Amino acid sequence: MPVPLHGPARRVVSLVPSLTEAIAATSPAVLVGATDWCTHPADLAVTRVRGTKNPDRAAIEALTPDLVVANQEENRELDVRRLREAGVPVWVTRIESVPEALASMRRLLTQGLGLEEPAWLVESERLWSGTVPPAVARVGVPVWRDPWMVVGRDTFTGDLLARLGLANAFADSDERYPTVALADLDDAGLDLVLLPDEPYVFTADDGPEAFRRTPTRLVSGRLLTWYGPSLVEAHRALADLVSP
């Protein structure tokens, strides 16, 4: 849907942690509001507007933003619709791959905010674009337990892993985040199970102990699922997952 902007946005509320970090790293002065889940940068000093799934729409409107940025997966269509009905322009991203993330960030920053393409975006594209390498290992990525849910088809995380040479064993699932039995996950013949710290907070004492057959690795959920400046860090930090 076209976003009714009358020039570059100068007062922005972000409802997505990745977008918050991307904007803050590029032009922090334009950010006036963000969710409680927007934890990067750590010193972000803006008005908090509650969560991604339950934003305080009245607080958002009170900030008189030129633009609210949201994501199709992370935010509710209801909130987007009601903000638009209140006359607030909302820019909604839809991201299922690394190339989509790079293109989406470029459109938002250069067209929506009228900014120059930032160095972190240029470097991210250099690191992550190109031919997807042959897979050297099969992995699974749980995002919840009790019930266990994993990353399935058509996801940014799955595409990012593929670009590291890691094949998502559940990429052919009918759902984007299918529920699986723990026994089936542990007996799938995977080379590695990656346990992120979001949305479920897997820790050394909560997650690895459930697996008897498959090696596990605790990883940063931000590096697996965020698509802003973290992409530069992710390429370096996750490379050792495929190291001999």
pLDDT of residue 186: 96
My answer on whether 115 and 16 are in the same domain is yes
My answer on whether 171 and 226 are in the same domain is yes
Please provide residue 55's backbone torsions phi and psi, each rounded to the nearest 5 degrees.
-60, 150
Torsion of CA 7, 83, 24, 162, to 10 degrees: -110
Domain stops at, among 127, 158, 190? 127
Domain stops at, among 127, 157, 189? 127
pLDDT of residue 24: 97
**DSSP character at residue 29:** G
Please provide residue 222's backbone torsions phi and psi, each rounded to the nearest 5 degrees.
-60, -40
Q: Given a cut of 60, is residue 244 above it in pLDDT?
A: no
Mean per-residue pLDDT over the chain, rounded = 94
Q: Given a cut of 90, is residue 6 above it in pLDDT?
A: no
pLDDT, mean of residues 148-162: 97
> For a pLDDT cut of 70, what percent of the chain falls above it?
98
Tell me if 90 is assigned to some domain.
yes
**Residues 60, 55: Cα–Cα separation, whole Å:** 8
Q: Given a cut of 80, is residue 224 above it in pLDDT?
A: yes
**Residues 149, 137: Cα–Cα separation, whole Å:** 20
Q: What is the pLDDT of residues 32-68, one digit of tens each?
A: 999 999 999 999 999 999 999 999 999 999 999 999 9
Question: Please, are residues 132 and 93 in contact by the beta-carbon 8 Å criterion?
Answer: no
CATH at residue 111:
3.40.50.1980
- Full-prediction pTM beyond 0.85? yes
Question: Please, are residues 71 and 92 in contact by the beta-carbon 8 Å criterion?
Answer: yes
Look up the domain containing 38 and give its range.
12-127
My answer on whether 48 and 146 are in the same domain is no
Q: At what angle do helices 230-238 and 119-128 cross, to 10 degrees?
A: 30
Other C-beta atoms lying within 10 Å of the C-beta of residue 36: 13
**DSSP character at residue 11:** S
Torsion of CA 70, 47, 4, 69, to 10 degrees: -20
Domain stops at, among 127, 149, 177? 127
pLDDT of residue 239: 83
